[in-house]
Amino acid sequence: MTLPFTTSLAYCCPPLDPAALAAARSDAAAATAILRTWQADGGLPLLRLPERRDDLDAVRPLAARLIAQCDLILLLGTGGSSLGAKTLIALSDFGFGPPPGLPKLVVVENIDPHTLSAVTAAAVGKRVGVLAVSKSGSTAETLSTLLSLLPALPALGDRLVAITEPTDNPLRRLVTAAGGVVLDHDPKVGGRYAVLSIVGLLPALLAGLDADAVRAGAAAVLDATLKGEGPAVEGAALALTAMRANLPITVLMPYVDRLAEFGLWYRQLWAESLGKDGKGTTPVRAMGTVDQHSQLQLYRAGPADKLYTVIEGPARGLGPKILQPADERLAYLAGRSAGDLLAAETRATIETLASANRPVRVISLPAVDEAALGGLFMLFMLETILSARLIGVDPFDQPAVEDGKVLARRYLAEQT
């Protein structure tokens, strides 16, 4: 299969030593052996998702029904239960409304009471559906949001859908009692790794996207990685080399507005998977071109403590033509399109960072579509898993997050 993107490195040494990077590549390639074992014995269901179609076929009728029945669908979830869905939805609607014939999808992931009041008000007079996602079925934020909204959304019936583990948990009981539909969340697919399951792909179907293409893009990256090569192996090697060179921050900077949410999905994946035992690096989401005007000064001339990944999409010649300027000082814009300027600014950022000995990886997307996004999802999940193996942490648990949940429940009980 052809990869849905290309990757390249644009950096000067130091800070990354070529010999150290070569050694890290060898270590990362060797680490793929565990992926082949897991893929063969089913020990990590994530690795079987790209080839599956039965689960998608099972939910297509549900998606079609909800599209026909609803003007507005509220997706309730947080963290891994929301960020992947938001990333996919942005391919279809990134702020200007859904394509004709599709419902508006709104992800409700925080418990700010003002937001919940606004959501309730926006639902008045609309045909509303609700999709609540919680792997455990006991996520306090998701359950409290659902319980807050239900009085304002009577008689949802089968327009209320939940995705949760096949256990007797609070979310399953609540939705079943309300006459809703409950879909099973695979207990062996962690929330932040669930975007290629129906957790991410049912919302993708509701947004009118090609879920099969998402998985096809993921499959291409997985196939390369299982051979001990490809961009995930290179990315893990680069990350390991940066950690060993004491670069504690990794910056992901898409130059594609539709990938703004992708940066937030990546941030959780990297931080929650690697930040253990005093290890890991801090992920930062930046956006081009806006962060050229707010962060690039620091990135180029501040502490040399960051690894950069720039994602570029097709731009040159695209978009509206720039009006012929009367001011001769703007002659450089004459005959150009908005995409020409975006491409030039992307190149300028990459080269100005590299010229200052800042390590930069460039991911180039020939198209920003479902296959590309599926490939990016798989790239960063595999890169994260391999990096965790290389630094000796478990990429699938999150003990510090669980501690916070216990304390939050205690403090809520103490309120009078």
Query: CA Rg, the chain, in Å?
Result: 22
Of 96, 169, 80, 204, the closest CA to residue 133 belongs to 80
272 a catalytic residue: yes
Cα dihedral 343, 286, 4, 12, rounded to 10, equals 70
Distances from the Cα of 265 to the Cαs of 82, 351, 392, in angstroms?
Answer: 9, 26, 23
User: 45: which 2 tokens?
Assistant: 């269901």
114 a catalytic residue: no
Of 389, 395, 401, 398, the closest CA to residue 274 belongs to 395
Kindly report the backbone phi and psi dihedral angles of residue 278, in degrees, each rounded to the nearest multiple of 5, phi listed first.
75, 10
User: Which of the residues 165, 272, 312, 383 is marked catalytic?
Assistant: 272
Of 141, 172, 234, 161, the closest CA to residue 203 belongs to 161
Half-sphere exposure of 361 (CA within 13 A, CB side): 22
User: Which of the residues 114, 293, 328, 414 is marked catalytic?
Assistant: 293
User: Which of the residues 104, 126, 321, 405 is marked catalytic?
Assistant: 405
Distances from the Cα of 298 to the Cαs of 85, 142, 301, in angstroms?
Answer: 32, 37, 5
Give the separation between CA 161 and CA 174, rounded to whole angstroms: 11
405 a catalytic residue: yes
- Sheet strand arrangement including 306-312: 6-9, 360-364, 306-312, 249-254, 282-285
| Cβ atoms within 10 Å, residue 62 | 18
Would you name the residues annotated as active-site residues? Answer: 272, 293, 405
